Amino acid sequence: MRAKTRTALFVGLVLLILGGAALLGCRLGWLPAANAQDDTTQSSMILMDTVVDVRVDGPNSAALVERVFARMAELEALFSRFIPESEVSAINRGAGDWVQASPLTLDLIELGIEMGRLTDGAFDITIGAVLDLWGFGSDYRQVPDEEELRAALATVDYTKVEVDRKAGAVRIPEGSVLDLGGIAKGFIVSQGIAILRTARMDRALINAGGDISVVGRRPDGRPWRVGVQDPDQANQIRYILPLDDQSVVTSGDYQRYFTVDGVRYHHIIDPSTGYPARGLRSVTIVGADPAVCDAISTAVFVRGWEEGRALVERLPGVEAIVISDTDAWISPGLAQAVTTP
Ligand code: AMP
Ligand code: MG
């Protein structure tokens, strides 16, 4: 079977500034020189398989941007299961046994487990073996054999991940594969933002390929503006939402996928079937913590149109834009704020 493969680096959300004329992200630089503050630094780097932009306004911005990137790179080196030396790789190799891990890795895994609970297992950090069968994470992608898929699904159960804070160790069941791809990017952004908040920056922004978190407001005192992409047209913005000291994350079926016989198979897997979740095209979550937004966007996507919206409504402090092939829903708390281009 031949599969057409596509990996999109830039996805989901774009930043709009100063009247909305400029699309931000990996396509354009984002601060027109005429609007630059005295001490503004913005810079990009590839991390987590995506372009990460950091912009900081304030004293020592250049040094801070450097620190943020160094921190994010350090965390990627701990969390990626595609880096053999990472702690997550060690945990996967040691499946069945306790494996030592640093406090931040334990934090992320604990948050992942909590997100599993909060979403009744729609979000499951032990989905790795199923993703491997589909080939997400490698260059070769395929529709897996049913039997193999059933066997891989039997290894998926976040409730069996154990964290021992005192011993600083994690244990996953033998055969299970930890995959933090649905939450690590948001978590890493949250750690970058924490550095900027501690340094008391008035204004800063991190955009990790559409996982966006902002501190404060734009230079003109108005909220940042984020464009939510049309799932079918990478260059079209469907909605614009203001962002004020918040985070926004999008999960979409157009971000990583391959097509076989006209069917699109994407990277967000329903843990109850082992197949890509059907029903939605994209889910955008707005909230305080980018790591939580990241996990929730994946979970709502898995849950689909009815249950996904119900999940958003029952989570405090979480707003959403949910887009299906034929419909779109903006949660009540966002309805007033969202506009169309
Ligand atoms: P996102 O783009 O944030 O929705 O995350 C998608 C990524 O999360 C995938 O590339 C996988 O690494 C991982 N993933 C896929 N399905 C799930 C799931 N049901 N629960 C947790 N992580 C998942
Ligand atoms: Mg996610």
Mapping DSSP onto H, E and C, the string for the chain reads: CCCEEEECCCCCEEEEEHHHCEECCCCCCCCCHHHCCCCEEEEEEEECCEEEEEEEECCCHHHHHHHHHHHHHHHHHHHCCCCCCCHHHHHHHCCCCCEECCHHHHHHHHHHHHHHHHCCCCCCCCEHHHHHHHCECECCCCCCCHHHHHHHHCCCCHHHCEEECCCCEEECCCCCECCCCCCHHHHHHHHHHHHHHHCCCCEEEEEECCEEEEECCCCCCCCEEEEEEECCEEEEEEEEEEECCCEEEEEECCCEEEEECCEEEECCECCCCCCECCCCCEEEEEECCHHHHHHHHHHHHHHHHHHHHHHHHHCCCCEEEEECCCCEEECHHHHCCCECC
User: Is 208 part of any domain?
Assistant: no
The better pLDDT of the pair 301, 39 is held by: 301
Cβ neighbors of 336 (< 8 A, separation 6 or more) are none
Domain that holds residue 232: 223-340
User: Is 231 part of any domain?
Assistant: yes
Note the pLDDT of residue 182. 96
Per the structure, the count of domains in the chain is 1
User: Is 273 part of any domain?
Assistant: yes
Q: How many angstroms is it from 94 CA to the middle of ligand 1?
A: 22
pLDDT for residue 112 is more than 70: yes
Over the stretch 150-197, which tens digit does the pLDDT of each residue have?
A: 999 999 999 999 999 999 999 999 999 999 999 999 999 999 999 999
Ligand 1 atom with the smallest distance to the CA of 301 is 4
Confidence of residue 6 (pLDDT cuts 50, 70, 90): very low
Pocket around ligand 1 at a 6 A CB cut-off: 123-125, 127, 131, 136, 179, 181-182, 251, 255, 267-269, 271, 294, 297-298, 302
Note the pLDDT of residue 234. 81
Helix axes 103-118 and 184-198, enclosed angle (nearest 10): 120
Give me the CATH number covering residue 293. 3.10.520.10
Q: How many angstroms is it from 315 CA to the middle of ligand 1?
A: 19
pLDDT for residue 22 is more than 90: no
pLDDT for residue 16 is more than 60: no
User: Is 182 part of any domain?
Assistant: no
Rounded to whole angstroms, the Cα distance separating 23 from 182 reads 25
**Minimal-distance CA residue to ligand 1 atom 18:** 123
Percent of the chain with pLDDT over 70: 89
Note the pLDDT of residue 141. 85
Note the pLDDT of residue 138. 76
Site to substitute for ligand 1 among 79, 156, 269, 292, most atoms within 8 A of C-beta: 269
Confidence of residue 14 (pLDDT cuts 50, 70, 90): low
Over the stretch 86-101, which tens digit does the pLDDT of each residue have?
A: 999 999 999 999 999 9
Note the pLDDT of residue 210. 86
Q: Near ion ligand 2, which residues have CB within 5 Å?
A: 182, 294, 297-298
Ligand 1 atom with the smallest distance to the CA of 270 is 19
pTM of the model: 0.90
Site to substitute for ligand 1 among 50, 111, 127, most atoms within 8 A of C-beta: 127
pLDDT for residue 13 is more than 70: no
Q: How many angstroms is it from 297 CA to the middle of ligand 1?
A: 9
Q: How many angstroms is it from 2 CA to the middle of ligand 1?
A: 24
pLDDT for residue 9 is more than 50: no
